[in-house]
Structure 1
Amino acid sequence: MRKFPSKKIISLSKLTICLWAFLIITIPLSASAQIIQVGNLKVNVEGKDDQFRRSLSVRLVAPGINELTISLQAVGLAIPKPIVVTFKQPSIDIQSYLTPHGVNASETSSLYDYELSRMIPVSYDAKTKFTSATMDQPSMTFFNTNSQNRLTIAASELIFPVTFNAGENEQDGVGFDLKIGLFEYVKKPMEAYTFKFRFDTRNIHYNQAQRDLLTWWKAVHNLKIAKVPISAHMPFYCTWYALKADGVNAKNIEEQARLARQLGCETIIVDDGWQKAQDAKAGYCLYNGDWEVDTIRFTDFKAHVKKVQSMNMKYMLWVGPSMIGEKSKIYEELKDKMLYRADWAKAWVADPRFPEVRKYLAERLITLMKETGIDGFKIDFMDLMNTRYAGKNLAQGNGRDYESVEEATVKLLSDIHAGCSALNLNVLIEFRQFYTSPVMQQFANMFRAVDCPNDVMENRTRTLDTRNLNYQVIHADPLAWNENENVQASALQLLHTMLSVPQVSTDLTKMSTEHLKMLTFLLKQWRTFSITLTRGEAFNYGADSHYTWSETSLKDQTVVVAYQPTILSPKKLEKNALMINGTHQDKLVLDLTKNFGVRTIMVYTCTGELVRKEKISLNGLVKIKVPASGIIRVL
């Protein structure tokens, strides 16, 4: 959290009154290090800087929740030097953790990494994680195998980079060494700065700790979360895995849209391949930046869009605004205003700190939306704009109106969202991991799991990881499978991402009758429970094992999903419930501590055949026979 001008430090008289809850230490940074007690933790704040005075304060917010504030004050404008916050978390009933999934701070590649490990590394091998406005959220959650929170630590800063490092250390009592870095990348002059850390050690389900953290971030920054149209909650169709770039043309899209609408999809995302790029195989993003419709593939694009929309389908286009291809017309104009070259794409990442770069990119997308009549954008590659590359390939001299790449990127995305919203109040904008920070949730209403085709475990894990730290609707990575796959195994692609919006991405003209029956039936069930699945209060279990089961409830609906063979113990089974067997076994086992009474159940296969209808007692230990990938409706 940044404060300009400086925030006034609490008075000593007030400190005396609240001594049980507040502690303040103020020393010049020339003293290099400070130690302060935060709950049961001894926290070290280190970093020498003669230009700033540093004040620390600790506040007990509620039982189990402490807030550490670091305040800096300079005589005039100065660039803060790095600050490192370290402490040791005792290893007491902690078996796993959730860490930012974004790039390692030491990575030299412009691409994200895919690490999903739940294992806490040893300290000497722990990799530092980089977070910023366009790279994940600045938090870590430590929990036990019963999904109970042991420590959720978070930083208030959502724009400037913050780094996290955690590793196991058996010295001085077995525990976890945590190190959080501030101002390692920021080079912005400032007079004052206020930064908060939230320490949550409550013995509650870790999902609740994360939801409370999200509320804290929103309050600290007064975030204005983007509007979510109802269509964002309904199933999507995406052309990416089905058609790839070579198969994108008016005829193919219209046919896929027609079939997808019959399945229950309400929006189509036309991915890469719609823009002019006749020899794009020579480089993935060679023509990015112009964003002009390929008139060979689409002789009348506006009429084509209207035709698809007449099917009651929303129409979205994929774009990657950060990438300027070397064969684009705009490249010559902007080539001296780039951050770095993305060699894998034969394209450059534009530097948003130049106002003319932001103006061009925002106006190009807004104009494209206005001219074509589309309903929104799938915006890709914004995580490539980050400070790790700010010192490379910059134009000589002045011209940049921001010092921070992240601040400039936030401004760019704000301009795009504002302009598109002015054209359509129900505009659909999708961002992807890893630019999922709460500050990003002001400019998009859908957040999608990073690419993981045909990977059930990763798609499940990424959607559930993202869901509890996001106000917006979470979308699964597009669903695709081998056309010869058996129908029960194919169904797992959808069943394991039920708590997110499905994006079908198989070639529907090649799908078997059984596959189409499965999609039709399961998407109908999904639509019936869509708001509960996307907006209900979710509790996810077995995060240490990439999730074993989930439950979510809202109003009179409950959905319970088994991803792995396990015993289900839902807190609720509202009067209209759905239980999903996302395993290869032919049963679900429940251990119900609450008597949910005698209920009518209907057991179905994944293609919609009714196996049986009966009344059963939902009390105590209950075993229900249900086919693999089948569902149970509870009334």
Structure 2
Amino acid sequence: FGLTDIIDDARFFAKMNQEKCTYDVTIFLTLHPESADFELILDERPIPWTEALADWRKQLNIPVQKFPAGAWKPVFCTWYAVHAAVTQDWVEKNAEIASELGFGTLIIDDGWCFDVMKRVSPQTIPDWYEWIGDWNLSTKKFPDFVNHRNRVQAMGMKYMLWVAPFLVGAKSEFKKQYPDCFKPEYKEGEYTIDSRKKDALAAQLAKMKHVMHDYGLDGLKVDFIDYIYPNTEESEGREVMAFVRELAKVIRAEKADALIEFRQCYATPGMAPYGTQFRAGDVPFDFIDNFQRISQIRISMGDGIPVHADPVYWHPQESPMNISRHMIASLGGVPMLSMDLLAVSETEKKIIRRWLKFYEEHLETFCFGHWKVVHHQSNTAYMSVTGKGESIVILLDPARLNEAVKDLKGTVTVLNLSEYNLELAGAETSDGEGKAGKAGIIVPGGAGVRK
């Protein structure tokens, strides 16, 4: 089932009818005076559901987007590595290492706009966002921000800050200025703005302009847009989309090629004109789930879209093999990392550098090739991308190796995301550090090239 109205709030219910051996499906859609004509699509063709989804996406007639070059650059993010215990000195030292490893964008995540130093834990999360909403830089954490930002940008890195314009912290000045602008539900120190409060939304847009302009940024990571949920009884979908459109205008008015990151829950075809990169949801430590989430966005949004991995983050005692598998999983999208690079070993750096170099060498294929996502039941078995004269396969299910490569022409590279050795006749192989391996045997976390 699919609707071509992707603005108005909708809800699909499917209830099992055991008597008839069917599902009873009910679709609710909230219409407005400005709602355009739309289609309800029922696709009964015996084809993979991924193909049906791609055909639905074509029906939306969304213009093909041209994304800035920076949207395809690997990203170093501060979040998992340091949370809100972030400082100018730590950022700058890590940025220097990150740029040498091959990262092209830096995201300062949550924590830059308040003085409290803290890490995420069961003790800190109940009131985590209490200071959010004012969007003024902490001069305690960043005492010389302008020169600091200039130095990072001089390393060749884009500089982005995290924002969440729909969150109103319980201790923020914004809450005092607009005491009736938010919904009653209290979560982790914050309330959610009521999108029907036009004055409050306008004030948040002004704050986003302030952040872009006054801090001289290359873009924003825009978080928690999904905190205003679809609701067919009290619809806010049109208000949310109007805000997103205006937000993109405000950001791009400051910098035409600005980077705008959206998270997975709102990484949808309809958001393509307003964002430049679409990131998998939070999955620290879990490279398989990262791979699954990346594939979900690819299926939804199609080819030529900068789908970003959630930041790769592993346990300090993780094995080199699994670190390499983390990096391979991230190559299903644009790689992103969040580790304290001052603390990682030389072996870890070799693995990071090896896979970022591989990404850079095959950038044209990763960015503009045709992606294929194959599932086994509810899990992604493998993803492959085919460009000019080459194909790259990221294989999670070892039983699908022959299927994944049988129709591929030209140079075929298989990246082994599984925990088993793969046998690929005639392949030149290497491990996660790039060391040559036994011909035809691809170790876990390694690669094999068949020409």
Instruction: Note the C-alpha offset of 1:170.
Output: 4.0
Match of 2:449 in 1: 633
Instruction: Note the C-alpha offset of 1:574.
Output: 4.0
Instruction: Note the C-alpha offset of 1:285.
Output: 1.3
Query: How far apart are the structure 2 equivalents of 1:410 and 1:542?
Result: 32
Instruction: Note the C-alpha offset of 1:226.
Output: 5.2
1:323 has 2:167 as partner:
yes
- Residue-by-residue CA offset, 1:38-90 (whole Å, 9 max, x unaligned): xxxxxxxxxxxxxxxxxxxxxxxxxxxxxxxxxxxxxxxxxxxxxxxxxxxxx
1:584 has 2:422 as partner:
no
Match of 2:41 in 1: 198
1:161 has 2:4 as partner:
no
Determine which structure has the larger strand proportion and give its number: 1
Query: How far apart are the structure 2 equivalents of 1:496 and 1:191?
Result: 43
Taking structure 1 as reference, are residues 416 and 169 closer, same or farther at Cα in structure 2, changes over 3 Å only?
same
Corresponding residue to 1:606 among 426, 432, 450: 432
- Residue-by-residue CA offset, 1:451-489 (whole Å, 9 max, x unaligned): 111122321111101112215311111110111111001
Does the residue aligned with 1:260 lie in a helix, a strand or coil?
helix
Q: Does the 8 Å CA contact 2:284/2:313 hold for their aligned counterparts?
A: yes
Does the residue aligned with 1:548 lie in a helix, a strand or coil?
strand
Match of 2:180 in 1: 336
Query: How far apart are the structure 1 equivalents of 2:372 and 2:167?
Result: 38
Corresponding residue to 2:259 among 404, 428, 445: 428
Instruction: Note the C-alpha offset of 1:431.
Output: 0.6
Does the residue aligned with 1:538 lie in a helix, a strand or coil?
strand
Query: How far apart are the structure 1 equivalents of 2:251 and 2:36?
Result: 33
Q: Which has the higher contact order (CA 8 A, sep 6+)?
A: 2
Q: Does the 8 Å CA contact 2:394/2:415 hold for their aligned counterparts?
A: yes
Q: Does the 8 Å CA contact 1:521/1:608 hold for their aligned counterparts?
A: yes
Corresponding residue to 1:503 among 320, 324, 336: 336
> TM-score normalized by structure 2?
0.91
1:284 has 2:132 as partner:
no
Partner amino acid for 1:465? Q
Taking structure 1 as reference, are residues 347 and 182 closer, same or farther at Cα in structure 2, changes over 3 Å only?
same
Instruction: Note the C-alpha offset of 1:589.
Output: 5.3
Q: Share of identical aligned residues, percent? A: 26
Alignment of 1:286-325 (within 5 A): 286-325=130-169
- Residue-by-residue CA offset, 1:566-623 (whole Å, 9 max, x unaligned): 1322364343432111112122358xxxxxxxxx74211111102256xxxxxxxxxx
Corresponding residue to 2:410 among 567, 575, 579: 575
Query: How far apart are the structure 1 equivalents of 2:431 and 2:276?
Result: 33
Match of 1:250 in 2: 88
Q: Which runs of 5+ in 2 are unaligned?
A: 119-123
Higher-Rg structure is: 1
How many residue pairs match? The answer is 441
Query: How far apart are the structure 2 equivalents of 1:572 and 1:423?
Result: 47
Instruction: Note the C-alpha offset of 1:206.
Output: 3.4
Taking structure 1 as reference, are residues 272 and 350 closer, same or farther at Cα in structure 2, changes over 3 Å only?
same
Does the residue aligned with 2:187 lie in a helix, a strand or coil?
helix
Q: Does the 8 Å CA contact 1:466/1:474 hold for their aligned counterparts?
A: yes
Q: Which runs of 5+ in 1 are unaligned?
A: 1-152, 392-403, 591-599, 614-623
Q: Does the 8 Å CA contact 1:339/1:389 hold for their aligned counterparts?
A: no
Query: How far apart are the structure 2 equivalents of 1:191 and 1:490?
Result: 51
Match of 1:32 in 2: none
Corresponding residue to 1:486 among 304, 310, 319: 319
Instruction: Note the C-alpha offset of 1:193.
Output: 6.0
Q: Does the 8 Å CA contact 2:312/2:330 hold for their aligned counterparts?
A: no
Does the residue aligned with 2:272 lie in a helix, a strand or coil?
helix
Match of 1:547 in 2: 380
> TM-score normalized by structure 1?
0.66
Alignment of 1:525-564 (within 5 A): 525-564=358-397
Match of 1:211 in 2: 54
1:180 has 2:22 as partner:
no
Instruction: Note the C-alpha offset of 1:295.
Output: 0.3
Taking structure 1 as reference, are residues 156 and 292 closer, same or farther at Cα in structure 2, changes over 3 Å only?
same
Partner amino acid for 1:366? K
Instruction: Note the C-alpha offset of 1:420.
Output: 1.3
Q: Does the 8 Å CA contact 2:10/2:232 hold for their aligned counterparts?
A: no
Alignment of 1:95-106 (within 5 A): none
Does the residue aligned with 2:13 lie in a helix, a strand or coil?
strand
Alignment of 1:65-464 (within 5 A): 153-172=1-20, 174-183=21-30, 188=32, 190=33, 194-217=37-60, 219=61, 223-224=62-63, 227-246=66-85, 248-278=86-116, 283-341=127-185, 343-388=186-231, 404-464=235-295
Query: How far apart are the structure 1 equivalents of 2:309 and 2:364?
Result: 15
Q: Does the 8 Å CA contact 1:337/1:350 hold for their aligned counterparts?
A: yes
